[in-house]
Amino acid sequence: MDEPDTEPPLVVVPGADPSARQLCFAWGPAEVLVCETLFDRAGTGHGAPSSSQVFVVRRDQDIYIQTLRKLFNESHGIFMGLQRSEEELAGKSRKAQLVQVSKNYRSVIRACMEDMHEAAVATRDPALQGQYSTQVSILSAMELIWNLCEILFVEAATAGPLLLRLLDWVRLHVCDVDSMVREVLSSESPSKHKLFWNVVDVFVLQGRMDEARHLLSKEASANPTSMNMYKILDDLMKKMPVPSVGNTQTLTELELKWQHWHEECQRYLQDGTFASNPHMESICKILLGDEDAILEKKELMTTWYHFLVTRLLYSHPTVKPMELRFYAQSSMDLFLGGESSPEPLDLILMAAFEFEIHQVIKECSIVLSNWWFVAHLTDLLDHCKLLQSHNLYFGSNMREFLLLEYASGLFSHHSLWQLGVDYFDHCPEYGRVYLELHIERIPLSTEQKALKVLRICEQRQMHEQVRSICKIMAMKALRNNRLGSALSWSIRAKDAAFATLISDRFLKDYCERGCFSDLDLIDNLGPSMLLSDRLTFLGKYREFHRLYGEKRFPEAARLLLTLMTAHIAPCSFWMTLLTDALPLLEQKEVIFSAEQTYELMRCLEDLTAGNPDKQKFQDDDVETTKVEMLRLALARNLARVIVKEGTVEGS
Amino acid sequence: MEDVSAKFVSQKISRTRWRPLPAAALQPPDLFATGSWDNEDNRVSIWSAGDLGNAGLNGEYHGEPHLLCDIQHNGDVMDMQFLDQERIVVASSTGTVTIFRHHQNNQTLSANHRWEKAHYHVDQDTSCGGAACTGVVCNNPEIVTVGEDGRINLFRADQRDAVRTIDNADSSTLHAVTFLRTTEILTVNSIGQLKIWDLRQQRNEPSQIFSLAGDRVPLHCVDRHPNQQHIVATGGQDGMLSIWDIRQGTMPVSLLNAHEAEMWEVHFHPSDPDHLFTCSEDGSLWHWDTSTNVSEKPSFLHQGGRSTAYLSHSTINQSVVSAWLSNDPTKDRMEITNLIPNQTLSVNSLDVLGPCLVYGTDAEAIYVNRQLFA
């Protein structure tokens, strides 16, 4: 197993005091429960009773930021789109598609950043404002890294276009100077402004030649004396060969042209054309790629990667992807100049320039306070087929590991859990297991929520979870005395045991009250009646009552007898059934045939024989009277039926 | 589609409702309300559909919906409906029913009246737990609510206590309710039954029960044809759309295969009832159009990115001509359009008024389509 690369960060739990007593903890899916123990620091004696607090420590804090929910939801849509688009296209169009996906992700980050920025401006609470600003800078760093990864890995720009992309990247992200540019441009006469040359330098450093020339022309018209000098510089800037995206020229052509132009610049610098104007001389030096001249403008570039791109633009425009690492390393060293050590962001970008994709993802995982970024970036890179060779010593692969972490975070959130489901779906190896474990822990506050969770499980054939959810809901309904609902839930889960339990409750209620509740349900059981024996009995018994109510006595009698002889009715219920037979026996016309009467008698004898008079001493009198009444009724019925059948057969 | 504007709102939306228009209004609706669910702190919010100030001559609106005001709501918003221009009745998962008033002059919301635990369970420990109120319907000043406790409540907006309560009206969960006539209501429940209740009768029994044959698929939503009151549409757990003629039979007149998962809401277009809208857990929102006479009318729904399907359905011969019940050969086709391609998470609610459609999803977004019949 690898050693951890960095010391694990120290998390201070506010309120807990590890110096006084030992802490204990328990892992949860995305959280840790921490509480103080009775043991003091030495671990020997028992101190005073500890505080009765339990702390919940969360890893993925960003999940709980309200504004970021937009990021999670919108990127979920993009993620799903990417999984769906699987491999349909090949070659170039596939790459274009992936780049588009990457851009979509970035635009979501940007939109979120703007929202956060607005929120920061709108709020009056300084603490909140600080929090928002921190988030804005984190988001902007994420976008910066993502954009670089997009250029280097997703698009995999080749020599030539690579530099153009990097220039765009710098222009998009180095916005510290934008306000200065705006200030100068909006002033009455820009050329008189004290920051005029700074702005021109900014344009040159960012390779924005047209804008620089436009500004210079203004200055030139104000200084007719040095017109010639301006013209030469303008001409140089105009002629500067740049790689074109259209690919009409080969790299060699470009290099030749560039070499030629470079020599021309060199000539003008050496013959002192610009000697009279230090500003213009320094611009010319920059055009020549003079490192010292460029480094002098450190303040205008603000970052080492700006320096890197500027340096490449003027000294090595046809840089190949693989050469980037050397320039990057030396640029960082030159720029920082040993004064300050590189920050995490610098290291991440450096790793990207070195094409160490895993290093980029690792550093990001350590530095960023959310899994969103690494999970989505890794997934995208995986779709670019850049990560296949890498296997972790735990879990399956990096993409899946990170997606699982992210989705687990979502599941720990009270509301975002629905998003997590789709992420688990796209983790082939462990996604299912994770989902099974997480989904069971979703609190089911309303039936509607339960239905949503149930739908998720049913779609994925997670029978065990379906059963458990239905059981929870059935149990809840039962506790609330909602027998009808409880039965519906257990029918949905096909849970025979529970259906039996509820049927018994129904029958008990009937015995106590003499009438059925929830008739609308019991009358409409349909085929689900066959789920459990007891439920069948309940349905059939209710049918008996209906037949009886409709005065269809012979049918009712037949059904009643079948319930006993076919052993559908539980033995404990036989007495009730026999009592129900009493009024049928007492009807004016004969209903039970001789054979049926014998059956009834046998049932009664079975019951009394199998149930010796041990129990129910108080009820003894009632019971014996009942039995005797039944016997009497049966005997009389038998007499009548013998006479009747005899006469019918005799005639 | 450029005529749909979306906004991510950082809360899962359970209900969206247009504010009703005053009787003489000609403008399209501009204000709607949303309710959220499954949040630690749920909210009822009032939104402006778009920037009215920038309305062009052609009545085009620009911009996304923006929040006017919101208020904290205890429990999930299970259902809600405007009582009038200013008041909204909101059903909560805690069993409470609240009337919120929207003060338009200073754009605030306040609780106007509250019936605590209008729906509740009497559990074994005799402590009363609230039961989710799943549906609410208003016919100013009357309000009818139904809940998981199988109870039906009739309130009047200005009265403190319930006017009428039918305990144990249903043995299973009641999912939705709507008015059939001023004194009759329709409810649907979780065992596939549609019941008519006459509130004038003192008997606590439904006056009629209709049910799906066979599988007892739970019904989740119900709506009545605005002009022909005997035509009722319901949506079920299997995503099936059922059309019922409550004058006859006890079974649906037609069953139309629709969504792949629970249908959460069904609505006839209030002024153009040949159109029907349904939304579902599977993340789709369908527009059912029976007005199209396929041969002559140019189809405006054949636009890129939309999937259109024709569905032939057989219906029982009817004397009254209604597109939903008739089997007239020229009208035997129905045009069905899915308005949301590629959505993955549930569309929980929709509302149509005039040319406008608003819907809300579990992906925490609300969408407004202002040119439904463009």
DSSP B57-117: TT---BS--EEEEEEEESS-EEEEEESSSSEEEEEETTS-EEEEEEETTTTEEEEEEEETT
| Confidence grade of residue B326 (pLDDT, cut at 50, 70, 90) | low
| Confidence grade of residue B55 (pLDDT, cut at 50, 70, 90) | very low
Q: Helices A304-315 & A278-287, crossing angle to 10 degrees?
A: 80
Average pLDDT estimate for A553-558: 87
pLDDT number for residue B15? 95
Of A517, A587, A589, A592, nearest to A561 by C-alpha is A592
The per-residue pLDDT for range B217-243, each reduced to its tens digit, is 899 999 999 988 899 999 999 999 999
Residue A4 confidence (pLDDT) above 70:
no
Contact at CB, B193 and A517, closer than 8 angstroms: no
pLDDT number for residue A612? 56
B8 touches A: beta carbon within 8 Å: yes
Average pLDDT estimate for B11-27: 89
Asked whether residue A177 falls in the same domain as residue A248, the answer is yes
**Residues on chain B touching A69 (C-beta within 8 angstroms):** 8, 10-11, 364
From the CA atom positions of chain A, what is the Rg in Å? Answer: 42
SS3 A420: helix
Asked whether residue A389 falls in the same domain as residue A465, the answer is no
Nearest-CA distance from A560 to chain B in Å? Answer: 25
Q: Is-contact B249 B298, C-beta < 8 A?
A: no
Contact at CB, A526 and B215, closer than 8 angstroms: yes
Q: How far apart are CA A448 and CA B14, in angstroms?
A: 11
Residue A369 placed within a domain: no
Of A480, A623, A171, A71, nearest to B150 by C-alpha is A480
| Amino acid letter for position B279 | C
Of B278, B216, B190, B208, nearest to B245 by C-alpha is B208
Q: What is the pTM of this model?
A: 0.85
Mutation pick from B7, B10, B220, B280 vs chain A, by most beta carbons of A within 10 Å, is: B10
| Confidence grade of residue B16 (pLDDT, cut at 50, 70, 90) | very high
- Greatest mean pLDDT range, A35-39, B47-51, B206-210, B322-326: B206-210
B170 touches A: beta carbon within 8 Å: yes
Candidate from A281-285, A591-595, B82-86 with smallest mean pLDDT: A591-595
Average pLDDT estimate for A502-511: 86
Residue A513 confidence (pLDDT) above 50:
yes
Residue B367, strand partner residues? B6, B359
Q: Which residue in B has a C-alpha nearest to residue A75's C-alpha?
A: B363
pLDDT number for residue A51? 65
Residue A137 placed within a domain: yes
**Residues on chain A touching B122 (C-beta within 8 angstroms):** 480-481
Residue A262 placed within a domain: yes
pLDDT number for residue B329? 44
The per-residue pLDDT for range A307-363, each reduced to its tens digit, is 999 999 998 888 889 999 999 999 998 888 877 888 899 999 999 999 999 899 989
Q: How far apart are CA A431 and CA A435, in angstroms?
A: 6
Q: How far apart are CA B150 and CA B70, in angstroms?
A: 31
Give the up-direction half-sphere exposure of residue A156: CA atoms within 13 A in the CB hemisphere: 13
Mutation pick from B78, B171, B347, B367 vs chain A, by most beta carbons of A within 10 Å, is: B171
Residue A361 placed within a domain: no
Q: How far apart are CA A57 and CA A457, in angstroms?
A: 29
Residue A521 placed within a domain: yes
Average pLDDT estimate for A131-159: 91
Q: Is-contact A414 B39, C-beta < 8 A?
A: yes
Residue in B8, B123, B262 nearest the CB of A480: B123
Instruction: Quote the tokens at residue A328.
Output: 């990057």
Mutation pick from B76, B78, B92, B216 vs chain A, by most beta carbons of A within 10 Å, is: B216
The residue among A523, A541, A559 that closes a domain is: A541
Contact at CB, B216 and A451, closer than 8 angstroms: no
| Confidence grade of residue B365 (pLDDT, cut at 50, 70, 90) | very high
- Greatest mean pLDDT range, A109-113, B58-62, B342-346: A109-113
pLDDT number for residue A617? 47
Q: What percent of chain A has pLDDT over 90?
A: 24
Nearest-CA distance from A639 to chain B in Å? Answer: 44
For residue B12, the surrounding DSSP H or E stretch is: none
Asked whether residue A189 falls in the same domain as residue A296, the answer is yes
Asked whether residue A246 falls in the same domain as residue A138, the answer is no
The alpha-helical segments, DSSP class H, found in A288-397 are 291-296, 298-301, 304-315, 324-336, 344-353, 357-367, 372-383
Q: What percent of chain B has pLDDT over 70?
A: 84
What's the domain range around A577? 551-651
Complete edge-to-edge strand list for the sheet that includes strand B208-211: B174-179, B184-189, B193-198, B208-211
Asked whether residue A615 falls in the same domain as residue A648, the answer is yes
pLDDT number for residue A606? 82
The residue among A509, A541, A573 that closes a domain is: A541
pLDDT number for residue B318? 36
Burial zone of A7 (CB within 10 Å; 0-12 exposed, 13-18 middle, 19+ buried): exposed
| Confidence grade of residue A296 (pLDDT, cut at 50, 70, 90) | confident
Contact at CB, A521 and B8, closer than 8 angstroms: no
Residue B2 confidence (pLDDT) above 80:
no
Q: Which residue in A has a C-alpha nearest to residue B6's C-alpha?
A: A74
Q: How far apart are CA A157 and CA A152, in angstroms?
A: 6
**Residues on chain A touching B190 (C-beta within 8 angstroms):** 447, 485, 488
Average pLDDT estimate for A217-223: 80
| Confidence grade of residue B114 (pLDDT, cut at 50, 70, 90) | very high
User: How many interchain CB pairs under 8 A, A with B?
Assistant: 125
Residue in A73, A414, A488 nearest the CB of B364: A73
Asked whether residue A186 falls in the same domain as residue A151, the answer is no
Q: Is-contact B164 B154, C-beta < 8 A?
A: yes
The residue among A58, A91, A107 that closes a domain is: A58
Asked whether residue A181 falls in the same domain as residue A279, the answer is yes
The count of structural domains within chain A is: 5
Q: How far apart are CA A478 and CA A508, in angstroms?
A: 14
Contact at CB, A484 and B171, closer than 8 angstroms: yes
pLDDT number for residue A578? 85
Length of chain B: 374
SS3 A223: coil
The per-residue pLDDT for range A468-495, each reduced to its tens digit, is 999 999 998 888 888 888 888 888 888 8
pLDDT number for residue B60? 47
Residue in A84, A483, A524 nearest the CB of B216: A524
Average pLDDT, chain A: 85
Q: Is-contact A352 A141, C-beta < 8 A?
A: no
Contact at CB, B38 and A414, closer than 8 angstroms: yes
Residue B358 confidence (pLDDT) above 90:
yes
Q: Which residue in B has a C-alpha nearest to residue A459's C-alpha?
A: B261
Chain A interface with B: residues with Cβ < 8 Å:
66-67, 69-70, 73-74, 76-77, 80-81, 84, 414-415, 418-419, 422, 445-449, 451-452, 455, 459, 479-485, 488, 517-521, 524, 526-528
Residue A319, strand partner residues? none
Residue A358 placed within a domain: no
**Residues on chain B touching A449 (C-beta within 8 angstroms):** 37-38, 76
pLDDT number for residue B313? 43
The per-residue pLDDT for range A392-409, each reduced to its tens digit, is 566 578 888 899 989 988
Asked whether residue A631 falls in the same domain as residue A590, the answer is yes
pLDDT number for residue A66? 83
**Alpha carbon of A463 to those of A74, A459, A466, B85: distances in Å?**
31, 10, 5, 48
Of B280, A113, A8, nearest to A121 by C-alpha is A113
pLDDT number for residue B374? 67
| Confidence grade of residue B53 (pLDDT, cut at 50, 70, 90) | very low
Q: Which residue in B has a C-alpha nearest to residue A524's C-alpha?
A: B216
Q: What is the ipTM of this complex?
A: 0.88
Of A600, A588, A509, A619, nearest to A561 by C-alpha is A600
Asked whether residue A95 falls in the same domain as residue A41, the answer is no
Q: Is-contact B258 B241, C-beta < 8 A?
A: yes
Residues 353-372 of B with CB under 8 A from A: 362-365
Nearest-CA distance from A439 to chain B in Å? Answer: 15
Average pLDDT estimate for B131-139: 93
Average pLDDT estimate for A42-65: 70
| Confidence grade of residue A546 (pLDDT, cut at 50, 70, 90) | confident
CA-CA-CA-CA torsion for A12, A18, A20, A23, nearest 10 degrees? 140
B39 touches A: beta carbon within 8 Å: yes
Contact at CB, B93 and A451, closer than 8 angstroms: no
Nearest-CA distance from B361 to chain A in Å? Answer: 11
Q: Which residue in A has a C-alpha nearest to residue B193's C-alpha?
A: A520
Residue B72 confidence (pLDDT) above 90:
yes
Of A101, A108, A106, nearest to A74 by C-alpha is A108
Residue A234 confidence (pLDDT) above 70:
yes
Asked whether residue A575 falls in the same domain as residue A641, the answer is yes
The per-residue pLDDT for range B181-199, each reduced to its tens digit, is 989 999 999 888 899 999 9
Three-state secondary structure of B162-228 = CCEEECCCCCCCEEEEEECCCCEEEEEECCCEEEEEECCCCCCCCCEEEECCCCCCCEEEEEECCCC
Residue A195 placed within a domain: yes
| Confidence grade of residue A549 (pLDDT, cut at 50, 70, 90) | confident
Residue A432 placed within a domain: no
Asked whether residue A645 falls in the same domain as residue A592, the answer is yes
pLDDT number for residue A435? 94
Mutation pick from A68, A73, A80, A506 vs chain B, by most beta carbons of B within 10 Å, is: A73
Asked whether residue A147 falls in the same domain as residue A207, the answer is no
Residues 123-152 of B with CB under 8 A from A: 123-124, 129, 131-132, 134, 148-150
Candidate from A149-158, A426-435, A545-554 with smallest mean pLDDT: A545-554
